[in-house]
Amino acid sequence: MHLPRGDELAVLHRLPGWLTRRLSRRDAAPRSHSGVLPPITPSGHGMARAWDSLCGDVLPSAFATDHPRYLAFVGGAPSTASVLADIAIGASSVYAGSVLEAGGVVAAETAALRWLADLAGLPPAAHGAFVSGGSMANLSALVAARHHRTGDREAPSIIVAGATAHSSVRAAAAIMGCELLAAGSPDHPLTGVALSATLDALDPARVVAVVASAGATNTGAIDHLDRIAEVCRQRTLWLHVDAAYGGAALLDEHHRGLFTGIEAADSITIDPHKWLFTPYECAAVLYREPAAARAAHRQHAPYLDAVNDDVADNPADYAVHLSRRAHGLPLWTSLIANGTEPYGAAVAQCLRTACYAANRIRTTAHLDLSADPSLSVVLFQRRGWSDTDYASWSRHARAAGLGLITPTRHAGRTALRLCIVNPLTTEQDIDLILDSLS
């Protein structure tokens, strides 16, 4: 089962052609799944059958997130270089948890983390790790915050987050046995005043951290980070900024100013697998003071003594994980291959497409913009439509291969939401979608 057999070598020879076709045709519409999976049997069916099922039926039935009209949730459109690196990583059986096992890998990931930390304006000592996703990054940061703030006292147990915070923050609070208190309103960015009003009613010793969003998932809104950072500084509270989606817009000179204050965060989440053109699973958790995170996350056991040393900076020490894939290497490879400029240009392209969509909605009689777009999220309504109309249009658009666009709620009303994180999404793609709503 280990060294390649003849049928596996035959598939290996087909791989370059398959990959070239896949990466050159990102706009292929999903095919419906046959509904028939080969049964799992004692002797197997051979690699040719497994491959045909995988690449001819199972994978093409997914609505690929790099399709230019995948505009639901927060998609992701990996660069070709990052996909190639991802394949190499999978084939290389790298354990990327420690310097002992993979020093060069850790060095390359550290360089990519440094780029992200510099983007956010964190100090030179800031560091962290790449993890599987934003949910894991948020959880890891909050666990570090609690550990840091506990000291000799009873562990604090309240997480205060803006009401726009991603659902993973509530999940993290539940995992940690903490209470989540929402500050401000779900439809507007969190302000310093609203945060202070929530905190005034609390004993600061009970607060694990304040979570602010830099690019709320539903609206794209950026909380008032400079005022929030000031409130946290005055009260000596840990500030975690969730920039999982929005952090990419730090690359855009016209949007960078909206993030002022992020540089004061104690921890930050940025997910390259969202808007920095990297395959799943790649999310960064960054800490202003890495030692605090290491104290929280390093695992101890006799069999780990060989890697637990304070000179080697092991990625395993900075999050809720031990064994790990080299999540950050595809980003690093793509940065080395392409340089940073195309990243800024690709983010700016998405922002321009979002503006185009908003303008088209403004000038279309039967469509109403729910709010001015924030970052690359556009929320709008189709006049006269009920919740059922939105749901059935969305289902039909998916089934017809038009696009993946799902409804959400905003300001108490159902709305359609476009989240544009793919520079290959064109104005014609937006026209196709909006024209189908007539």
Query: Residues interacting with ligand PLP, by CB under 6 A?
Result: 74, 133-135, 138, 166, 168, 213, 215, 217, 242, 244-245, 271, 283
By beta-carbon proximity to ligand PLP, the closer residue of 45 and 188 is 188
Q: How far is the CB of 274 from ligand PLP (least distance, A)?
A: 7
Q: Which residues make Cβ contacts (< 8 Å) with residue 109, sequence separation at least 6?
A: 96, 129, 130, 315, 326, 327, 328, 329, 332
The whole-angstrom separation of Cα 5 and Cα 259 is 53
By beta-carbon proximity to ligand PLP, the closer residue of 98 and 376 is 376
The whole-angstrom separation of Cα 310 and Cα 296 is 14
Helices vs strands, H then E, count in the chain: 14, 11
Q: How far is the CB of 77 from ligand PLP (least distance, A)?
A: 15
Q: Tokens at residue 199, please? A: 């905190």
Q: How far is the CB of 319 from ligand PLP (least distance, A)?
A: 13
Cα within 13 Å of Cα(434), Cβ side: 26
Q: Tokens at residue 165, please? A: 């915070």
| Cβ count near 69 (within 10 Å) | 24
By beta-carbon proximity to ligand PLP, the closer residue of 207 and 419 is 419
Q: Which residues make Cβ contacts (< 8 Å) with residue 397, sequence separation at least 6?
A: 403, 404, 405, 433, 436
Give residue number: closest CB to ligand PLP.
134
Pick from 292, 278, 420, 423: nearest CA to 357: 420
Q: How far is the CB of 306 from ligand PLP (least distance, A)?
A: 31
Q: How far is the CB of 246 from ligand PLP (least distance, A)?
A: 7
By beta-carbon proximity to ligand PLP, the closer residue of 245 and 385 is 245
| Cβ count near 41 (within 10 Å) | 7
Q: Tokens at residue 372, please? A: 């001015």
By beta-carbon proximity to ligand PLP, the closer residue of 217 and 394 is 217
The whole-angstrom separation of Cα 382 and Cα 391 is 12
Q: 305-337: string of b/e by CB count within 10 Å (b at 16+)? A: eebbeeeebbbbbbbbbbebbbbbbbbbbbbee
By beta-carbon proximity to ligand PLP, the closer residue of 246 and 434 is 246
By beta-carbon proximity to ligand PLP, the closer residue of 136 and 358 is 136
Which residues on neighbouring strands pair with residue 408, listed in sequence order?
A: 415
Cα within 13 Å of Cα(156), Cβ side: 25
By beta-carbon proximity to ligand PLP, the closer residue of 245 and 259 is 245
Q: Tokens at residue 328, please? A: 């950050």
Q: How far is the CB of 164 from ligand PLP (least distance, A)?
A: 9
**Contact of 47 with 3, CB cutoff 8 Å:** no
Q: How far is the CB of 215 from ligand PLP (least distance, A)?
A: 6
Pick from 343, 307, 310: nearest CA to 322: 307
Q: How far is the CB of 334 from ligand PLP (least distance, A)?
A: 18
By beta-carbon proximity to ligand PLP, the closer residue of 329 and 377 is 377
Q: How far is the CB of 150 from ligand PLP (least distance, A)?
A: 25
Q: How far is the CB of 111 from ligand PLP (least distance, A)?
A: 22
Pick from 264, 318, 322: nearest CA to 292: 318
By beta-carbon proximity to ligand PLP, the closer residue of 149 and 240 is 240
The whole-angstrom separation of Cα 438 and Cα 433 is 10
SS3 239: strand
Q: How far is the CB of 277 from ligand PLP (least distance, A)?
A: 15
By beta-carbon proximity to ligand PLP, the closer residue of 187 and 242 is 242
DSSP-derived secondary structure letter, 240: E
By beta-carbon proximity to ligand PLP, the closer residue of 73 and 337 is 73
Q: How far is the CB of 203 from ligand PLP (least distance, A)?
A: 28
What are the backbone angles phi and psi of residue 175, rounded to the nearest 5°? -60, -40
